[in-house]
């Protein structure tokens, strides 16, 4: 059995692992129990009562975090030459087509988001087996397949994220940085939770939002009171 360190004891003394906390208090606790020397990522984990194997229960969405993600998002735009300047002016780190497709085939995926125009999807499709497992495959549902390249890049740079339920019914996504104020963290979490709740399948029976936790890199998880995010009609 592993020993509990002095730091871990101090952290666990600040809150009750078995208790559900209202969001403002949970965010304050999170700030207190984050002790990493680097700017840790704040993460939200939501357990949903859905069966992702059913098409109508595959929860996926996008949301713009009001306070951004707190990190530099590296964007690659796969497009024809006439769109490259637009992409670069909007803030994309990389823009092009064939040369980047070849680089990806060779193992290069040093980006956070890939955006493309509909006209190049025929070339992007074959590298889906590489991009898909990394969550990088452009998708019209997340706004990453579009002709409006400039706004798509700006949205991503400003804090637009996409989330997707995994095969176990859990959504796991970053919602900011530990250097944010507790209010900023709370506002970002509220935005994501509102988007998740809005996507509740109409045909679903039983509890949709089972539980939710927040944590930062290497911190313990703090359980949220999910009832504060829902009303009687949402359950």
Specify the DSSP element, H or E, that contains 158. Answer: helix 149-158
Q: Quick one: pLDDT band at residue 15, thresholds 50, 70, 90?
A: confident
Rounded distance between C-alpha atoms, residue 72 and residue 92, angstroms: 11
- Looking at the chain, the whole-number percentage of residues with pLDDT higher than 90 is 80
* Least confident residue range of 35-39, 42-46, 76-80: 35-39
What class is the 75-157 domain?
Answer: alpha beta
Tokens 């991503």 — which residue? 156
- pTM value > 0.85: no
Q: Quick one: pLDDT band at residue 234, thresholds 50, 70, 90?
A: very low
Rounded distance between C-alpha atoms, residue 57 and residue 67, angstroms: 29
In DSSP terms, 61 is beta-bridged to 163
Specify the DSSP element, H or E, that contains 173. Answer: strand 170-177
Tokens 């409006």 — which residue? 148
pLDDT of residue 3: 63
pLDDT of residue 59: 94
- Looking at the chain, the whole-number percentage of residues with pLDDT higher than 70 is 93
Rounded distance between C-alpha atoms, residue 175 and residue 200, angstroms: 20
Q: Quick one: pLDDT band at residue 23, thresholds 50, 70, 90?
A: very high
Give me the mean pLDDT over the 154-158 stretch.
94
pLDDT of residue 116: 97
Chain centroid, CA 208 distance in Å: 19
What are the residue ranges spanned by the domains of the chain? 16-68+161-228, 75-157
Q: Which fold has domain 16-68+161-228?
A: Ribulose 1,5 Bisphosphate Carboxylase/Oxygenase (3.30.190)
Residue 87 clears pLDDT 90, i.e. is over it: yes
Residue 95 clears pLDDT 70, i.e. is over it: yes
pLDDT of residue 125: 94
pLDDT of residue 235: 42
Residue 193 clears pLDDT 90, i.e. is over it: yes
Give me the mean pLDDT over the 9-36 stretch.
88
Mean per-residue pLDDT over the chain, rounded: 91
Q: Quick one: pLDDT band at residue 205, thresholds 50, 70, 90?
A: confident
pLDDT of residue 233: 38
Judge contact between 103 and 220, C-beta under 8 A. Answer: no
Residue 137 clears pLDDT 50, i.e. is over it: yes
Strands 160-164 and 60-64: antiparallel
Backbone φ, ψ for residue 200 (5° rounding): -55, 125
Rounded distance between C-alpha atoms, residue 12 and residue 8, angstroms: 6
Residue 1 clears pLDDT 60, i.e. is over it: no
pLDDT of residue 7: 66
Q: Quick one: pLDDT band at residue 63, thresholds 50, 70, 90?
A: very high
Select the more confidently predicted residue: 118 or 10.
Answer: 118
């Amino acid at each position: 059995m592993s020993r509990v360190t002095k730091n871990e004891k101090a952290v666990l003394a600040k809150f009750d692992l078995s208790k559900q906390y209202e969001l403002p208090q949970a965010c304050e606790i999170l700030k207190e129990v984050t002790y990493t020397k680097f700017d840790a990522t704040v993460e939200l984990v939501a357990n949903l009562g859905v069966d992702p194997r059913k098409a109508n229960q595959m929860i996926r969405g996008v949301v713009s975090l009001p306070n951004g993600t707190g990190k530099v998002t590296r964007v690659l735009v796969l497009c024809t030459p006439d769109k490259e300047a637009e992409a670069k002016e909007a803030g994309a780190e990389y823009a092009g087509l064939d040369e980047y497709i070849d680089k990806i085939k060779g193992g290069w995926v040093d980006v956070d988001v890939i955006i493309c125009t509909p006209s190049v999807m025929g070339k992007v499709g074959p590298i889906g087996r590489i991009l898909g497992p990394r969550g990088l495959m452009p998708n019209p549902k997340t706004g990453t397949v579009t002709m409006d390249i400039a706004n798509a890049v700006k949205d991503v740079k400003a804090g637009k994220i996409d989330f997707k339920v995994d095969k176990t019914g859990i959504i796991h996504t970053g919602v900011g940085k530990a250097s944010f104020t507790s209010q900023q963290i709370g506002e970002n979490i509220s935005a994501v939770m509102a988007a998740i709740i809005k996507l509740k399948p109409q045909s679903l029976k039983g509890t949709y939002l089972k539980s939710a936790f927040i944590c930062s890199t290497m911190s313990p998880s703090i359980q949220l009171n999910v009832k504060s995010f829902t009303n009687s009609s949402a359950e």
